[in-house]
Structure 1
Amino acid sequence: MFEIHASKVSSLKNDVLSGLTVALALVPEAVAFAFVAGVEPLVGLYAAFMVGLITSIFGGRPGMISGATGAMAVVMVSLVALHGVEYLFATVVLTGILQILAGIFKLGKFIRLVPHPVMLGFVNGLAIVIFLAQLGQFKVANEEGIFVWMQGNQLMTMVGLIVLTMAIIHFLPKLTKAVPSSLVAIIVVTLLAQSLDLDARTVVDYLRDMTSDPAATIAGGLPQFSIPNVPFTFETFKIILPFALVLAAIGLIESLLTLTLIDELTGTRGRGNKECIAQGASNTVNGFFGAMGGCAMIGQSMINVNSGGRGRASGITAALGLLAIILFASGLIEQIPLAALVGVMFIVVIGTFEWSSFRIMSKVPKADAFVIVLVSGVTVATDLAVAVIVGVIVSALVFAWEHAKHVNVVRFTNEKGSTVYEVHGPLFFGSVSSFLEQFNMEEDSDDVVVEFKYSRVADHSAIEAIDTLAERYISRGKTLHLVHLSPECKQLLKKAGDLVEVNVIEDPDYHIATDKLA
């Protein structure tokens, strides 16, 4: 039905125009996430500006947009409620330092361990989260200050303007791609609402409902440098460290997964470790300038790509455009109907959701289909970091279970009358039980050979299983030969150490996952 109209070529004009579009869409998002975190709107707006600017200049993925995000905001709210906003700023500084260290130690490569079904679940879950977040725009505060659903003409106007916005974004690229369709849609809908004096809620209406302040505005000055006003003690460190670890993990996971998604859309490859350092630097700066911190935003990044943004200029324009709005153009931006911005985000939802996942559900293994649904559900119910970790763990357990079935031991008698066992398949924690069950010690001859040429000993559980096997044969008074084991295996074996036959030419050389050799 809808498709992402993404230009394959980077140009300064496309970057600037798409950046302006993103800047307009960043305003309500930053304000909303600030309220989620329990801080002032400017704290969220400043975060969107500084994170967006620094990551656009120094990050590893040109065209990706960063700012204040809901995934991080939901972690911040309890910290702010318990200890106050100054502790939040200190936590954001520590978060940035941890992310910089992750980049320096090249931990960004571990995003490659995320399986494709987890990626599908991630984008589907995030699309649902973005959609659900827009539903809050359909509520208004009544006389008691309680938010209730829109009704009557106001609801019809909201729906009508959303449909118009989505129609312009969808059909305009078929006529011309000279300007971003999202930007045109926002301008047209705003002018229409103003000229016809429609009963349409605007950005400032939303802000005033959220703050219960009839004079609230997004206008402000430049962010000011300030060292977080917290005691520099070990007690403070103990308070902020758990929150900083969670925020750093969430920020990097969301940023690196978004980077991977934009890589696929643009046919290019970003630099994960460089992005980690840029995200960390931006959050460190945020903490010293009174902002809430942030990470990559998949919704805004999709708007940027959809509008033709490819280069660093798009992110820089978005950040500087947002700052210009705060300093000079707040009065104009506050008059944009929320319906226009909701329509833009609905298009993002449609473009983000992997509709093909429905088609492939019956074609992929049931375990992969389950992981897709599981990660989508956990993303909606909790947060992105938990969902990805759960998805990776479940995928790893399924992998281990499936490969545990692949270890096979072939038994035969050689020309010398010795019983020979040829081990085929990986030997690791999941397959050791099956491995040990395939030996018939009572019926074996007094001379037994276990051949590991066609197997690989993967971890310490496998080493213990070989030791157990050796102990069983020794207790029965039988001679055991273990051949074609790696030097590491020989070094780790205890009971079977003297039973290993060394073949310098043919013995394999590989590493085993164990702490004993670390």
Structure 2
Amino acid sequence: MLNFFRSQSATAKDDVLSGLTVALALVPEAIAFAFVAGVSPIIGLYSAFFIGLITAIFGGRPGMISGATGAMAVVVVALVATQGIEYLFPTVILCGLIQVIVGTARLGKLIRLVPHPVMLGFVNGLAIVIGMAQFSSFQTYDFAAGKLTMLTGMPLVLMLAMVTLTMAIIWLLPKYTKSIPASLVAILSVTFLSLAVNAAFASNGTNVIATVGDMLTTKATAVAADPMNVDPVSISGGLPRPFFLQYSVPPMTLETLWIIFPFALTLTGVGLIESLMTLSLIDEITETRGRGNRECIGQGAANIVCGLFGGMGGCAMIGQSLINVNSGGRGRLSGITAAVCLLLFILFLAPLIERIPMAALVGVMFMVVIGTFEWASLKMFHRMPLSDMAVMVLVAGYTVVMHDLASAVILGVIVSALVFSWKHALHLGADIQTNEFGSKIYQLHGPLFFASVSSFKEMFDPASDPDDVVIDFYYTRVYDQSALEAINMLAEKYQSLGKRLHLTHLSSECRSLLDRAGHFVEVNVSEDPQYHVATDRLG
């Protein structure tokens, strides 16, 4: 990653300024995701406020930004389309309750199961997805064609020039001063410049450089049944109110639960996976450690409150989190500032925010893309194992094609686990010798689990072995039920031949399973080793 993600100490000034920068970038993102979910833009904005504020206060990762996200929006759009918006809010509340249960049960530690190649693929795929998403800002609505089309001519040239200028400011300003976030300076500078350009060249009320307000109208026009009669869209609104004062409440019955539970469960998984992966990424960048279980509880509480006030739910926002870190935000104050500023924008400053050029926000996000992509991974192709490289490419490719970060991570973990199992299935072996009493001793080496069971069975020849056989498990570990059953079946074979089998250094689980082998099985309890497992202290 580039140097602007360098580790630095947190200060209140940096947190406040970076929070303001993030708030400016949150506006178009929240609005865009609201359109994806099929709800009003104001719902997306208030969702970003509630999720951002509560997770900043109670979450497990200072400096991480949460809000309304595309991953969650893609899940709820089907629910809103088929059942109506009134079913959305109980679904979000139920999602929050499940997330709190997950955090309370200390299951956040499961993020440790994500291998590094999956993390690399996730980060690289995410960078590509964020970059591709910015190209929608280069579109305008063509009334003659009745669809969105790419900018051409002078509007395209000006857009590209403004994006380039934004990126140049973010790149060059830290070389001279770090007292003010470069992203904030870039947004403000390009905004003033675009105001001057639009004032000089605007015709018929149309801006030559598209603004946030133009983006709102373009999005609304694209989804409207009659694009010719779309009123200008505004992000202004009053204070949020509980959903049951604004919408009809669905019946609280088992039928309703049956409808919303699958969506709530999916939202839970998507939200937690994306948030915990973001937490790990910010941990790596800032060289600090967040608390996964606390993040689960904080995010769950945020979704409960968000649902109560008519929000669409949310989770960690990777792009905005990286903007915050890039701008110097390290503490909880940065996330709190971003949420509070977003609320102030909605209540008092909507007309000003709508005049920010989309080019400035696109330029900021392009710099996030450059900083997010793990460029060093391109040099590792010839150094890392082929299987790890394949997993990294698979996760990145799935993320780019399907735009589903949670599924990409799950797929990567599954493939990595299968590769790990296959490799370790080949590591089981045995040293065989005969002692002075004529007993044959098999000293096992390597893990014994479902994938190595076949190799385990092939090591023994009960018919040819002497009457007294010893299997020593001191240098191996028995991991699952498949291994336990293989041991039991082997003991039964020796038993059926009237031969004695001694199994030493077995765990208590193995001994319990093998008790039915009777006096033909002798377990040396006194030499059983102690097995140590991970505790919850790090969760």
When the two structures are superposed, what TM-score results if normalisation uses the length of structure 1? 0.96
1:299/1:345 contact within 8 Å kept:
yes
C-alpha displacement of 1:388: 1.1
Indicate the SS of the match to 1:452.
Answer: strand
1:167: which partner in 2?
A: 168
C-alpha displacement of 1:300: 0.2
Query: Alignment length, in residue pairs?
Result: 512
The one of 342, 348, 360 equivalent to 1:322 is 342
Superposed structure 1 runs of 4+ greater than 4 Å apart: none
1:195 matched to 2:196? The reply is yes
Q: Deviations over 1:453-511 (max 9, x none)?
A: 22221111111111121222233343322222222211112653433323343123449
2:183: which partner in 1?
A: 182
C-alpha displacement of 1:163: 0.6
2:419: which partner in 1?
A: 398
The one of 470, 487, 492 equivalent to 2:491 is 470
Question: Superposed, which structure 2 residues align to 1:444-455 within 5 Å?
Answer: 444-455=465-476
1:482: which partner in 2?
A: 503
1:414: which partner in 2?
A: 435
| Structure 1 unpaired stretches of 5+ | 513-518
1:488/1:511 contact within 8 Å kept:
no
Moved more, 408-417 or 493-502: 493-502
**Separation of aligned partners in 2, 1:498 and 1:171:** 79
| One-letter amino acid of the counterpart of residue 488, structure 2 | D
1:101/1:277 contact within 8 Å kept:
yes
Indicate the SS of the match to 2:527.
Answer: coil
1:295: which partner in 2?
A: 315
1:225 matched to 2:245? The reply is no
| One-letter amino acid of the counterpart of residue 17, structure 1 | L
- RMSD of aligned residue pairs (Cα, Å): 1.6
1:428: which partner in 2?
A: 449
1:84: which partner in 2?
A: 84
The one of 370, 373, 379 equivalent to 2:393 is 373
1:490/1:500 contact within 8 Å kept:
no
**Separation of aligned partners in 2, 1:455 and 1:54:** 47
1:350 matched to 2:370? The reply is yes
**Separation of aligned partners in 2, 1:137 and 1:345:** 12
2:233: which partner in 1?
A: 216
* Aligned CA distance change for structure 1 residues 503 and 447 (closer, same or farther; 3 Å): closer
**Separation of aligned partners in 1, 2:432 and 2:319:** 58
Indicate the SS of the match to 1:358.
Answer: helix
**Separation of aligned partners in 2, 1:497 and 1:134:** 69
**Separation of aligned partners in 2, 1:356 and 1:313:** 32
2:158: which partner in 1?
A: 157
| One-letter amino acid of the counterpart of residue 285, structure 1 | V
C-alpha displacement of 1:444: 2.0
**Separation of aligned partners in 2, 1:52 and 1:340:** 22
Moved more, 480-489 or 14-23: 480-489
C-alpha displacement of 1:7: 5.4
Indicate the SS of the match to 2:344.
Answer: helix
C-alpha displacement of 1:247: 0.2
1:498 matched to 2:519? The reply is yes
Indicate the SS of the match to 1:77.
Answer: helix
1:482/1:499 contact within 8 Å kept:
no
1:490/1:497 contact within 8 Å kept:
no
When the two structures are superposed, what TM-score results if normalisation uses the length of structure 2? 0.92
2:18/2:324 contact within 8 Å kept:
yes
Indicate the SS of the match to 2:529.
Answer: coil
**Separation of aligned partners in 2, 1:62 and 1:454:** 43
* Aligned CA distance change for structure 1 residues 117 and 7 (closer, same or farther; 3 Å): closer
C-alpha displacement of 1:404: 0.8
1:204 matched to 2:213? The reply is yes
**Separation of aligned partners in 1, 2:21 and 2:505:** 63
Indicate the SS of the match to 2:213.
Answer: helix
**Separation of aligned partners in 1, 2:473 and 2:327:** 57
**Separation of aligned partners in 1, 2:335 and 2:508:** 52
* Aligned CA distance change for structure 1 residues 498 and 139 (closer, same or farther; 3 Å): farther
**Separation of aligned partners in 1, 2:178 and 2:524:** 68
1:470/1:495 contact within 8 Å kept:
no
**Separation of aligned partners in 1, 2:294 and 2:516:** 47
**Separation of aligned partners in 1, 2:133 and 2:74:** 13
C-alpha displacement of 1:25: 0.4
Moved more, 131-140 or 451-460: 451-460
**Separation of aligned partners in 1, 2:110 and 2:300:** 17
1:516: which partner in 2?
A: none
Q: Deviations over 1:183-221 (max 9, x none)?
A: 110111111111123611111111001112342111111
Aligned sequence identity (%): 62
1:335 matched to 2:352? The reply is no
Q: Deviations over 1:23-58 (max 9, x none)?
A: 000011001000111111001000011100111111
Question: Superposed, which structure 2 residues align to 1:18-33 within 5 Å?
Answer: 18-33=18-33
